[in-house]
Structure 1
Amino acid sequence: MTTSSDTVIGNAGIVLADHVIERGWIAVADGRIVEFGEGNAPGASQDAGGDLIMPGLIELHTDHLEAHYIPRPKVFWDPVAAVVSYDGQLATSGITTVLDSLRVWREEGAEEVDGQAAALADAIAAAREADLLRADHFLHLRCEIPMPSVIEEATELVGRPDVRLMSLMDHTPGQRQFRDEGKLRDYYRGKGGGKTDAELDVLFEKRFAYQKAYAADNLRAIVTLAQQHGIPLASHDDTTEENVADAVRHRVSVAEFPTTMEAARGLHQVGIGILMGAPNVVRGGSHSGNIAAVDLAQEGLLDILSSDCIPSSLLMAALQLPRRVPAIDAASAVRTVTKAPAEAVGLSDRGEIAVGKRADLIRVHLARDLPVVRSVWREGHRVA
């Protein structure tokens, strides 16, 4: 890590929360933004060569950590080494703050989707304690409501000071993300070496039984647990008006990946922020066959983007949005990956270029419309 208490960067496009300075400069001291402006920098400065300087990206939902920890079915890597590898990929993708999304459930017969949440939370803490991390890491507990052990596992984790978000998930076949049961079958066929239809029949019957036996009580308990600890709640894959009503009743702050225009409109009307996947934007649609993020953006229904399983997609999607949706300018698009996610989880000290904010910054070069992250600073320290 290269440290510097005073840095001035000039000859850059400065991406502010409400507009872009086409050619300007920015000054940093003691980890904070102290000044910025148009034209030439006053005095000596680092030459950005016309690249963009923007706030470090803020990620609320990444499914990417498990891929480093379990790189092959039933193959477990050293957890701290996995966290460090994952963190490096986030930082070089421009992500300076991340909520590590940990799967809080275990399911016999589907070990490849077990989250190993406690082991990974401990590994993140160990890496942080050893000063091995480039990005600032918090926890997002993804609670699969019908699972028998979800309350016990969430209770063990919820008291950690780095927990910033809890999501209410239910992947029971035939509803929400997987209203088309065939899509869920395709998902499991591609996981863990693949499952036969007979094996999936058994697994799905178990899922139906779990939902009937546990979901209602678990949902009440998880909502209460989050509220007792002052942790924001996210809903997941809202599809119907009933799902929206549930989100309102549970005082949800963020709706992750609504699957229909109907649900997105209902969520927007009641002031719940809508989060969609950046890969959905880059690919031009949902891999599950649900609503396209660009369609929501065209209706003014997109608030936050998440890289989900592909860290580099976050910056790509933000910079592609203005081209795909002309009503969205560059500053507004960048807000979906900086200021908006920061505000959603109460991180008011970052997410925009403004005097007094943390100097979490990235330098981005555009080559043939592909963004390349050239430099990353966290609190004024060069980390990539």
Structure 2
Amino acid sequence: MSVLNVDFEGGEVLRPGAGLEVGCLSIAAGRIRAEPVGRRVDVSGFLVLPGVVDAHGDGFERHVAPRRGAMPDIGEGIASAEAELAANGITTGVMAQFYSWEGGLRGPDFAAQVLPAITAERDVLVTDLIPQLRFETHMLDHFAALPGLLAEWGVSYVVFNDHLPHDRLAQGRRPKALTGQALKAGRNPEKQFELLLDLHANGPKVPAALDRLAQVLAAQGVRMGSHDEHSAQDRAEWRARGVHISEFPETEAAARAAREGGDPVILGAPNVSRGGSHKGNVSAAELVRLGLCDALASDYHYPSLRRAALRLWRDGICDFATAWGLVSDGPARLLGLDDRGRLAPGKRADIVLLDKATLRVAATLCAGRVSYLNGALAARFLA
């Protein structure tokens, strides 16, 4: 797909610091230009917005492994997922792949297939894809190999998780979902229970091991975050290791501790669009209201990013520019992507156009290349 050199005229453009205003947005050679470039496209009736930057999403799992054996070519699954990203206005997508004791789609062997495929496909697809590894903290036997694997797979973003059911394991009780989880991973449930007990027993050794691992990864230039923090103490411990991104804090106290420490906070867009957490955690919309959010992420549902930004605006929690900034400029900044997230001269031409009547995605452009285009707007592009 060639790069467009066009002037989008008549639409409502979201300009930095100015909000929506009818005007012209010009792009050429993959960048936003200050002056018209020549070819006009009428986009009246559409909102012209910065492309969506998804700071964390694992919704691609159903594309790379819909059913056992249905997608033997992981690259084709990534390409299919990229089409869904584009259809939802996403121009940069962090694809979060588990490296977990859970096994199956979340196990180390599958990560070894998916992450290199993301790195390979990003060079031929339009949407900018960023691989992220979600690493389970109690897998001590895997710590030594991790830095080398990240380098081999082209991964420079790691988020630490701990999904072990520690309360039940501490009592020697079987987790409720053990049997189903074991069968999904192709394991005997009793062997799975033994594995979880062994991992839980690693607990006293984990903090010091994480200290050393984080130091190695930081020297390697790896961006690091932590997932599902419950308290201010949790955030302080991760910050001390140099792990500065707080993904999906479960309480206001954890989110506030991140903000007061200068650490960016990512919240789940599905939490906003549904009106609350499905796990009973703090409301993401309330944290946005309190100013404790830097970015929204798709989590497991790509359409929720656009829908969440619009809901925040419609519910009066914040103005349109602020709401859209949580899915564009905010995530771009926390990912260190200073070349996108705003419609300003010199920035990448990462753009999404929404039909003003329906507020659905009509077109998506990444660095001036069309990744998605439909309906009446497509006819205008081709006229």
Q: TM-score, normalised by structure 1?
A: 0.85
Q: 1:185 Cα shift?
A: 3.9
Of the structure 1 ranges 298-307 and 57-66, higher mean CA displacement relative to structure 2 is found in 57-66
Helix, strand or coil at the partner of 1:159: helix
Q: Say yes or no: does 1:59 pair with 2:47.
A: no
Task: Tell me how far apart the structure 2 counterparts of residues 322 and 186 of structure 1 sit (CA, whole Å).
Answer: 38
Where do residues 209-248 of structure 1 align in structure 2 (5 Å cutoff)?
209-212=201-204, 214-248=205-239
Residues 119, 154 of structure 2: 8 Å contact kept: no
Unaligned ranges ≥5, structure 2: 168-172, 373-383
Q: Say yes or no: does 1:311 pair with 2:310.
A: no
Q: 1:165 Cα shift?
A: 2.2
Letter in 2 for 1:3: V
Task: Tell me how far apart the structure 1 counterparts of residues 371 and 192 of structure 2 sit (CA, whole Å).
Answer: 45
Task: Tell me how far apart the structure 1 counterparts of residues 312 and 119 of structure 2 sit (CA, whole Å).
Answer: 35
- Please name the residue that 2:104 is paired with: 111
Identity %: 30
Task: Tell me how far apart the structure 2 counterparts of residues 335 and 10 of structure 1 sit (CA, whole Å).
Answer: 22
Residues 53, 364 of structure 1: 8 Å contact kept: yes
Residues 166, 200 of structure 2: 8 Å contact kept: no
Q: In structure 2, do the counterparts of structure 1 residues 187 and 277 end up closer, same or farther at CA, with 3 Å as the change threshold? A: farther
Helix, strand or coil at the partner of 2:221: coil
Question: Deviations along 1:167-202, whole A, 9 cap, x unmatched?
Answer: 122122248xxxxxx9x8469858966999988855
Of the structure 1 ranges 49-58 and 149-158, higher mean CA displacement relative to structure 2 is found in 149-158
Select which of 119, 123, 128 maps to 1:125.
119
- Please name the residue that 2:132 is paired with: 140
Residues 15, 53 of structure 1: 8 Å contact kept: yes
Q: Say yes or no: does 1:381 pair with 2:369.
A: yes
Task: Tell me how far apart the structure 1 counterparts of residues 336 and 288 of structure 2 sit (CA, whole Å).
Answer: 24
Q: In structure 2, do the counterparts of structure 1 residues 30 and 233 end up closer, same or farther at CA, with 3 Å as the change threshold? A: same
Matched positions, count: 367
Task: Tell me how far apart the structure 2 counterparts of residues 186 and 35 of structure 1 sit (CA, whole Å).
Answer: 57
Letter in 2 for 1:170: D
Question: Deviations along 1:246-277, whole A, 9 cap, x unmatched?
Answer: 12212233200000111111111111111100
Residues 73, 112 of structure 1: 8 Å contact kept: no
Select which of 96, 99, 122 maps to 1:101.
96
Q: In structure 2, do the counterparts of structure 1 residues 153 and 62 end up closer, same or farther at CA, with 3 Å as the change threshold? A: farther
Q: In structure 2, do the counterparts of structure 1 residues 26 and 245 end up closer, same or farther at CA, with 3 Å as the change threshold? A: same
Q: Say yes or no: does 1:280 pair with 2:271.
A: yes
Residues 88, 361 of structure 2: 8 Å contact kept: yes
- Please name the residue that 2:20 is paired with: 21
Q: In structure 2, do the counterparts of structure 1 residues 159 and 367 end up closer, same or farther at CA, with 3 Å as the change threshold? A: same
Q: Please provide the CA RMSD for this pair.
A: 3.1
Q: Say yes or no: does 1:77 pair with 2:69.
A: no
Q: 1:59 Cα shift?
A: 1.3
Task: Tell me how far apart the structure 1 counterparts of residues 228 and 234 of structure 2 sit (CA, whole Å).
Answer: 9
Helix, strand or coil at the partner of 1:383: strand
Of the structure 1 ranges 153-162 and 349-358, higher mean CA displacement relative to structure 2 is found in 153-162
Helix, strand or coil at the partner of 1:156: helix
Of the structure 1 ranges 188-197 and 81-90, higher mean CA displacement relative to structure 2 is found in 188-197
Q: TM-score, normalised by structure 2?
A: 0.85
Q: 1:364 Cα shift?
A: 1.0
Q: In structure 2, do the counterparts of structure 1 residues 190 and 119 end up closer, same or farther at CA, with 3 Å as the change threshold? A: closer
Question: Deviations along 1:141-188, whole A, 9 cap, x unmatched?
Answer: 21211113432452233326953422122122248xxxxxx9x84698
Question: Deviations along 1:119-154, whole A, 9 cap, x unmatched?
Answer: 11221233234x2x1211122221211113432452
Q: In structure 2, do the counterparts of structure 1 residues 55 and 45 end up closer, same or farther at CA, with 3 Å as the change threshold? A: same
- Please name the residue that 1:356 is paired with: 346
